[in-house]
Structure formats: C-alpha cells, structure tokens
Amino acid sequence: MNAMTQTQYQNAVKQLQKHSYHYYVLDDPITTDEEYDILYHKVVAYEHEHPTQIIPDSPTQRVGDVPQDKFDKAQHLSRMWSLEDLFNRDELETWVNRITKSYGTVRFYCEPKFDGASLNLIYDNGALVQAITRGDGALGEDVTQNAKTIQSIPLTIEYQGRIEIRGEVVIFKEDFEKINEERLKNGESQFANPRNAAAGSLRQLDTRITASRRLVFMPYGIGSNTLELKNLSERMEWVYALGFRNPHMTHLCETSEQIETFYHEMRVERDNFAMLLDGMVIKVDSVAVQDELGYTVKNPRWAAAYKFPAIEKLTVLREVIMQVGRSGVVTPVAIVEPVDIEGVTVERSTLHNFDEIERKDIRLGDKVIILRSGDVIPKIVKVIAAERNGSERVIKRPRDCPVCGSELLDEGALIKCQNLDCEARIVNSIIYFASKACLNIDGLGDKIVEALHKAGRVKELSDLFDLTMEQLLSLEGFKEKKSRNLLDAITAAKGCDCWRFINALGIEHIGEVASKSLCGAFGTAFDTASREEILALEGFGSEMVESVLEFVRVNGEKIERLRSILTPVAPLKIEAAENPFKGKSVVITGTMSVPRDRIKAMLEELGAKIVSSVSKKTDFVVYGEDAGSKYDKAVELGVALLTESEFKNLSSLADGAPSAQGESVKAKNTLFD
Ligand code: IVH
C-alpha cells in the first residue's frame, strides 16, 4: 500500500467521522460499507506505522482490547431523576392543570420515551471525558470505555464548556432478535427484552462485546451546564446539532388535548420505531419555569411519562406442545391463557428449547410475563415463582416423538426425532423442498403438502413427480386450474440449478451458500466427494463435512432417484484464460458486498487456488468489511491486498490479459495502493 502522509491520514479520519455521523446518527449513509472499510483499513495501517500520531477520536480508538476487571463508581455532576408515570387522560389533565393553575399557558415539549438504560455523558474541553450509568441517581458506574464503542456517541463535540448530556442507550428490535438467535445457538440464556439486552451490553467488562451489540444512544436531556438557551426545545436542537441522534417525533403542545392527540399519533407510530418505546415524555419547555417548579423527592415536577399500554402482560401457562421440524428437532411451544397485547390476542409463544425451560424453571400452571411488540416474537420473559400454590407441574423433557412415537435423541439444548419416516419430518421436508430457496415450486405450501400427505399421495419427495391430474382433482378444494398450475410448477422444477437440488435435500448445517460451494466444486456429483475434498472448501468445518457424509451414506438411493428425476444442471467448467489470478494462491477475508462464496467462485473460475491462511506463499489477499488478523498479516508480510472492487476490476482483465506472471509481480509491488 502507498504510505499516506500525515495530512492525508488526518483527512481520512475526518472523512471516516463524517461517514459514521451520516450512518449512525442521521441514518443516511453517504458511502458504501466497502468504501468506508477501505478507508478504515488505510487509517489502521497508518496508525500501525505511526502510533505516536494517532488522533484520540479516530474511529479506530473506540474499541479497547483489554477487558476491565470491574467498573469504578462515579458521581454525576447533577442528580439523575426519574419520572412520574401517567396512565390515562384523567391523570394527564390533573398533571397539566397543576402546572397551568400557577403559570397560565405554558408550552410542553413532548418526545418519545425510549425503553433502554439511561446514561450520563460528561464532556469537557470538547471531549467525552466520562460516561456514567444512572445508578442511584447520584452515584453510578463508570462505563466510559463501553460508551466509546457506541457509534452514535460523539467522542468530541464543538463546545468547550463542561456539560452533561443525558440519554437512553437502546438496542434496535431487529438487533435484539439477532443477538438472541446467536445466544440460543451458543447455548446461552436469552435476553428477556431489548431493555435488558441494552443494559447488559452496556455493563460488559470486555468492550469488544459491547461494540458487537450495536447499541444506540438517544439523547433526551442536559444535566449540569452553563448554557444560556432558555427553552428545552432549543437546547435539544443544539444537542442534535452537536452530532447526536434526533428522535424526530417531538412536538410542542400547549393544552392537554394537544398532548393527548400527539400521544395517540405516537402510539400509532410506535411499531415503526426501530427501538422499543414505552411512552411519551412531557416536559415544560421553559427552563425558568422548570426551575421554579423544582422537584419532589424522586421526580421533577416539570416532567412526566405518559405511558403506553404495556407490551408485557401477565398470563398463565396452560400447556406445552411439541413441534417436530424437518431435521427432527423438537421445539416446545407454550400455550398460554389468551391475553390482549396492543390489540393482538397472544396465545402461544416459543420456548426455544428444553434447556431454556429448565434454566427459567418454567412450570405448567405458572403465572408468567409474556412480551410482544410489533416485530419481537412473543416470548415468556419471566416466571412469577412467588405466586406458585403448589399445583404447578414441572415440564418433563420428552422421551418419545410426539408424532411418530419413536425414541428421541436428547443432546441437551437439542432434542431430536431420528426416525427419517416420521410424518412430521416428511411433511416439513417436503414443504422445505418446495420452498423459495430450494426448488421454488409455486403453490406447494404447508396446507397443500399436509393434504397430499394425509391422502397418501405423497409419502416421500420423489412421489411429488408422480402426481396425476386425477389424484389432485380428487382432493378437496382442487379444481382443474389449480391442479394444472401445480403440476406445471412441479414439472418446471426439473432441470433446476444443481445448488437448488443440493439445498432442497435439507442436509443438516448445509444451507444455500454451502450448497452453492458443493455444486461449484463437485457439480451434481457432490455425493462422490471425499472427506478431504469437502473439508478443503472455504467455510466447511468438520461438523458440516460429517453431516454431508452421513446424509449421503444414509440417503444414497434417495439422492440418486431424485437426481434422475430432477436432472439438475451444474455450471460448466471451462479452462481459465490467462489472467492475473490463474494458478495464484488467494486468501479471502472479511465481509463482501456479495456472499463470499461468489467471490470464491469467481476466483476459482479464473483458475486461482483459494487458501484459508496468509503466508509468504500467498499471492493476494482479497479483503472486505471487518477484515481482521488476515489483513494485518498480509500488511506484515507485504502480500498484495485487494479490495473487492479492485479485485473485480482486475478480474475483468481475464480476457486477453498480459501474462499472469508479469501482472502479478507488478501487483505485489505497486498496483493496488
Ligand atoms: S427525562 C428529568 N426523557 O426514563 C427527567 N427520560 O422513568 C429525567 N427515559 O431514567 C428523565 N426516554 O432513563 C427522559 N425522553 C426521555 C426518556 C427518558 C427514556 C428514561 C430515563 C429515565 C427514565 C425515567
């Protein structure tokens, strides 16, 4: 890489800060992840060479790599208060009247109440000096290192005075679901709700964990300060202009009617917010009036939280039913006394697995708290063990399959039915076989597959291809047109891409990407590949390899039959033309704008050999977002580094390119900086 000058480095840092601001604060990116990443890596490389010149608020400085052993206690400069709760229109009116009685018409600043963990940021001389959790309001915990990993918290601001900026640290609903999925996979306990996930993530001793949780800071107020702006609304505008996120849905109201109307608008919008809201906060706008109203022991008299209907409700667990998936995994599902949560009747909730039931000690008949919010799948958050009367029953791990009765394999978190002929497994396999990412057979959804199976027409996958018009017409709800369409869609699946055929088999641990790799490497005859050959594929660990081999061993005949019916088509393998990558050893690292396997397939088509670790023998490292140690190793060894787009540009030289030798020697020295 060409060395940057110090000025170029300083400009690159400014550029990265600008990009982050647009991405994390304005939600309006002005560059691609790839471009950001290229610049970020250049900055990392410069800082590696010139550690004394590192700018303290460089984006690379957000994440430390040495875990702390505890958090120190820290004092807030001014107290952090809680809010009085209002639950209905009457309470709102009483609260508003108490203020207007003494002050006449006042303006109220209304804004969302974010459901997360509160955090106090102290800035001095333009820099973030301390971040403290709420604690008891006077004394909290110093989580400065963790706060620095939150991209929507500016490390520096354009204000020199000492000031406290307060806000709520939240987790977006979609990130919450992702974190819980990941935790489930790793056998860890689930976070009950996004609030707990945010609070737990903020208090991690290892900042790298906090950084990975994608926390977001939503500012809602100012603590100790020497500002002269007279109204809260102006002060908040000033805060947003410093580089903090703007919640957007804020409004000035003068009467309780106006507040009520805005409250209902916000409730309607509630599900459209990326994070959970649990109410609307109403604050007197004039700082002078706030000061006069003052505080009770706990709360300011000038602010209140007008709560939204709860998304967590108390109910009773009545029953646990078992669902058997296509891979035989048995998933417990809770049936609860129906409860209305924001207009939706909730009566079932996933329990994930039996380890989770045991960890939470959930029993039949228990009073439980269930959570449902727009995009969050209903889940049992908590058991009220204190309210048990002795009639509750422990939920036993099943020993036999609830569908076919055969003995289950209990692997701890996973319990599986191993009977390949289990009806539930067959029906779900057929549904999966026909789904979008597999053979994409239109019209073959859950209900129809169940009906076909029940009528004894489809007992295994290959039976689908023997279906006749008469058979379909004899089923309830099947008329001429529907039957014809279905038969046509089934026929159209013949001659499918080979990867679809592999994916449709439903081999455990083998999804779309892995199916494409298998198809790219071995074509339709993937079942003849050896353990070593499969293990050599990028991204294939031993669990995946064993899964393929075991599947092939048990289902050899079925694969053969389906292959002869479907006649899947493999991409043609052509001898690569001369190009800079032919015969070269290439490492791919980091996240690309397309699945990494696509880059791999392109390289393989060019005749490159893909290897997994960087050594002196490596000719190129193609890197994407979040590239880590492999990138560093390449810098250290002087291996030619290519971004995804540099790779694509170079690969287009494939036709009639100059000699591979000449091109790559040049590449190693100069071409790609
Ligand atoms: S104002 C002086 N505004 O709710 C007023 N708090 O129940 C102090 N919260 O501890 C708080 N969104 O963690 C305020 N827009 C908002 C808020 C908000 C969430 C949290 C905050 C506070 C708790 C009070």
354 Cβ inside 6 Å of ligand 1: no
pLDDT at 660: 32
Cβ atoms within 10 Å, residue 360: 20
| Nearest by Cα to 300 from 228, 357, 232, 225 | 232
**Poorest-pLDDT segment among 154-163, 217-226, 437-446:** 437-446
CB 46 within 8 A of CB 4: yes
Ligand 1 atom 24 nearest Cα: 82
* Homologous superfamily in CATH for domain 312-394: Nucleic acid-binding proteins (2.40.50.140)
pLDDT over 50 (residue 235): yes
Give yes or no on whether 426-492 and 498-566 have one common fold: yes
Q: Residue 570 C-alpha to ligand 1 middle, in angstroms? A: 59
Q: Best of 86, 166, 168, 276 to mutate for ligand 1, by most ligand atoms within 8 A of CB? A: 168
* 625-637: burial string, b at 16+ Cβ within 10 Å, e else: bebeebbebbbee
304 Cβ inside 6 Å of ligand 1: no
As assigned by CATH, the class of the 426-492 domain is: mainly alpha
614 Cβ inside 6 Å of ligand 1: no
pLDDT over 50 (residue 499): yes
| Nearest by Cα to 584 from 670, 669, 667 | 667
Token pair recorded at residue 545:
């390899």
CB 501 within 8 A of CB 441: no
Q: Residue 298 C-alpha to ligand 1 middle, in angstroms? A: 13
Mean pLDDT of the chain: 90
How confident is the model over 561-584, as a mean pLDDT? 84
220 Cβ inside 6 Å of ligand 1: yes
pLDDT at 662: 32
List Cβ neighbours of 422 (8 Å cut-off, separation of 6 or more).
Answer: 324, 328, 401, 403, 404, 406
Ligand 1 atom 17 nearest Cα: 113
What type of residue is 406?
S
Task: Please confirm, yes or no, whether 479 is among the known catalytic residues.
Answer: no
Q: Best of 83, 119, 248 to mutate for ligand 1, by most ligand atoms within 8 A of CB? A: 83
How confident is the model over 170-178, as a mean pLDDT? 92
82 Cβ inside 6 Å of ligand 1: yes
Token pair recorded at residue 201:
């993530």
Nearest atom (ligand 1) to Cα of 303: 5
Q: Residue 220 C-alpha to ligand 1 middle, in angstroms? A: 7
281 Cβ inside 6 Å of ligand 1: yes
Cβ atoms within 10 Å, residue 658: 12
- The C-alpha atoms of residue 461 and residue 558 are separated, in whole angstroms, by 9
Q: Residue 82 C-alpha to ligand 1 middle, in angstroms? A: 6
221 Cβ inside 6 Å of ligand 1: yes
As assigned by CATH, the class of the 498-566 domain is: mainly alpha
How confident is the model over 593-615, as a mean pLDDT? 82
Q: Residue 80 C-alpha to ligand 1 middle, in angstroms? A: 9
Report residue 381's pLDDT band, with 50, 70 and 90 as the boundaries.
confident
Q: What percent of the chain has pLDDT over 90?
A: 68
pLDDT over 60 (residue 78): yes
Helices (H), 170-282: 173-185, 194-202, 207-212, 232-241, 256-269
Please tell me the chain's helix, strand, coil percentages from 3-state DSSP, rounded to the nearest 5: 40, 20, 35
Ligand 1 atom 13 nearest Cα: 118
CB 325 within 8 A of CB 331: yes
* Homologous superfamily in CATH for domain 585-672: BRCT domain (3.40.50.10190)
Q: What percent of the chain has pLDDT over 70?
A: 96
Nearest atom (ligand 1) to Cα of 80: 8
Catalytic-labelled residue, pool 113, 360, 379, 584: 113
pLDDT over 80 (residue 12): yes
pLDDT over 60 (residue 656): no
CB 641 within 8 A of CB 609: no
pLDDT over 70 (residue 668): no
pLDDT over 80 (residue 595): no
Query: What ranges do the domains of the chain cover?
Result: 6-62, 84-307, 312-394, 426-492, 498-566, 585-672
Question: Running DSSP on this structure, what letter comes out for residue 363?
Answer: E
Ligand 1 atom 12 nearest Cα: 113
Nearest atom (ligand 1) to Cα of 302: 2
In this structure, CATH architecture of domain 6-62: Orthogonal Bundle (1.10)
Cβ atoms within 10 Å, residue 199: 19
**Poorest-pLDDT segment among 76-80, 403-407, 436-440, 650-654:** 650-654
Report residue 420's pLDDT band, with 50, 70 and 90 as the boundaries.
confident
pLDDT at 664: 33
In this structure, CATH architecture of domain 84-307: 2-Layer Sandwich (3.30)
Question: Running DSSP on this structure, what letter comes out for residue 352?
Answer: -
Query: Tell me: the pLDDT tens digits for 459-497?
Result: 989 999 999 999 999 988 889 999 999 999 999 999 999
Report residue 539's pLDDT band, with 50, 70 and 90 as the boundaries.
confident
